Amino acid sequence: MKSIVKTNFKFPNQTSVYKGKVRDVYKIGNDKLVMIATDRISAFDIVLPIGVPFKGQVLNQIATNFLDLTSDIIDNWKMSSPDPVVTIGHYCEPIKVEMVIRGYLSGHAWREYKSGKRFICGVAMPEGLKENDKFPSPIITPTTKADYGHDEDISKEEIIKSGLVSKKDYEFLEDITQKLFKRGTDFAREKGLILVDTKYEFGKTKDGQIVLIDEIHTPDSSRYFYLADYDKRQLEGQSQKQLSKEFVREWLIANNFQGKEGQKMPTLNEDFVNSVSNRYIELFNNITGQQFVKADIDDINNRIESNVVSYLNNL
């Protein structure tokens, strides 16, 4: 199985490199970034010891598509996508808070609710809900943005009091988050999907403007259900078919792994890896309404280097 899990490029005028859980980010000069979506996959904030073929291409192409579709709501960091797994854009100083927004009681919020909690990030959740029920209105449940380790739930009040984000900027982020989620929700519905929850990341340009950065509405940052059978499954108490990374988390939980100390990573065989790849491609086809076209992966690293260098040399 051919996939890209490591990169070690030396691009023209490269000044630094940062390797995250799934993305490798190369800084060019002082004002540009080359972001490579690798085929690494993470769960419970741990990078799994596998590469998922075409996952990076799926993430990058969905993200660039939605950056374009939301640029009327807020400016973003993107300049170009010269390769199927690469986005090149403006360097921004990241805001150290991830804006998580939830339309339904799923994933982490459900696990908190099931344990008896009725507040998450200082936001109340109604009594009497069951897993995957829709909230009366979307709730924003921010987290800290950790450089290493786990992101942590945090309330609006804690964010402002600690000085992570000013009150004015945070209220702007709340407003933009709601608008982006509505755009994503409407687009998903047109394609027969439900955008369940997602997260947005923001940064500031050198002149202080807040812009959208990183990815948007991808299966790594979002959860999707099928619209057609949602009501039936809820009524009958069935689990929802998810087009997201949650099914990977559920598989790991079922195999006694949640990233906790002392737990052993289960064997991730070829059939499992292929099933994950197929799920990512399925989401691409559904959410974009287009047919996924697999890029040539015979020599991924040379392809990326050639496309990136060509773009940078023509700036």
Three-state SS at 77: coil
Provide the CA 114 distance to its chain's centre, in angstroms.
24
Q: How confident is the model at residue 244 (pLDDT cuts 50, 70, 90)?
A: confident
Provide the CA 1 distance to its chain's centre, in angstroms.
24
Q: Take residue 222 and report the two structure tokens written for it.
A: 């979002």
Region 289-315: what's the mean pLDDT? Answer: 95
Q: How confident is the model at residue 238 (pLDDT cuts 50, 70, 90)?
A: very high
DSSP single-letter state for residue 267: P
Establish if 170 belongs to a structural domain.
yes
Residue 150 has pLDDT above 70, yes or no: no
Establish if 128 belongs to a structural domain.
yes
Establish if 292 belongs to a structural domain.
no
Q: How confident is the model at residue 282 (pLDDT cuts 50, 70, 90)?
A: confident
Residue 175 has pLDDT above 80, yes or no: yes
Region 262-276: what's the mean pLDDT? Answer: 90
37 CB contacts (<8 Å, ≥6 apart)?
Answer: 22, 23, 55, 56, 57, 59, 60, 63, 85, 86, 87, 215
pLDDT value for 2: 84
Q: How confident is the model at residue 148 (pLDDT cuts 50, 70, 90)?
A: low
CA pair distance 143, 166, nearest whole angstrom: 16
Region 129-152: what's the mean pLDDT? Answer: 89
Establish if 263 belongs to a structural domain.
no
pLDDT value for 306: 97
Q: How confident is the model at residue 1 (pLDDT cuts 50, 70, 90)?
A: low
Establish if 264 belongs to a structural domain.
no
CATH number, domain at 193? 3.30.470.20
Q: How confident is the model at residue 241 (pLDDT cuts 50, 70, 90)?
A: confident
Q: Take residue 29 and report the two structure tokens written for it.
A: 């000069």
Q: Closest Cα partner for 66 from 83, 55, 78?
A: 78
Q: What is the CB-side half-sphere exposure of residue 96 using CA atoms within 13 A? A: 13
pLDDT value for 191: 94
C-beta separation of 18 from 24 below 8 A: yes
The residues facing 244 across adjacent strands are none
Establish if 132 belongs to a structural domain.
yes
pLDDT value for 245: 77
Least confident of 49-58, 140-149, 230-239: 140-149
Domains held by the chain: number: 1
Establish if 131 belongs to a structural domain.
yes
Portion of the chain with pLDDT greater than 90, in percent = 83
CA pair distance 260, 156, nearest whole angstrom: 28
Kindly write down the DSSP assignment for every residue of 192-256, as one continuous string: TEEEEEEEEEEEE-TTS-EEEES--S-TTTEEEEESTTHHHHHHTTPPPPB-STHHHHHHHHHTT
- pTM value is 0.89
Average pLDDT over all residues of the chain: 94
Q: How confident is the model at residue 283 (pLDDT cuts 50, 70, 90)?
A: confident
Establish if 253 belongs to a structural domain.
no
Residue 308 has pLDDT above 90, yes or no: yes
pLDDT value for 149: 58
If one counts every other C-beta atom within 10 angstroms of the C-beta of residue 149, the result is 8
Residue 38 has pLDDT above 70, yes or no: yes
Region 254-260: what's the mean pLDDT? Answer: 91
C-beta separation of 177 from 213 below 8 A: no
pLDDT value for 145: 83
Which residues span the domain enclosing 143?
94-235
pLDDT value for 147: 63
Region 220-248: what's the mean pLDDT? Answer: 90
Cα angle for residues 190, 194, 195 (degrees, 5° grid): 105
Q: Take residue 33 and report the two structure tokens written for it.
A: 């970034």
Q: Are strands 119-120 and 123-124 parallel, antiparallel or unpaired?
A: antiparallel
pLDDT tens per residue across span 58-80: 999 999 999 999 999 999 999 99
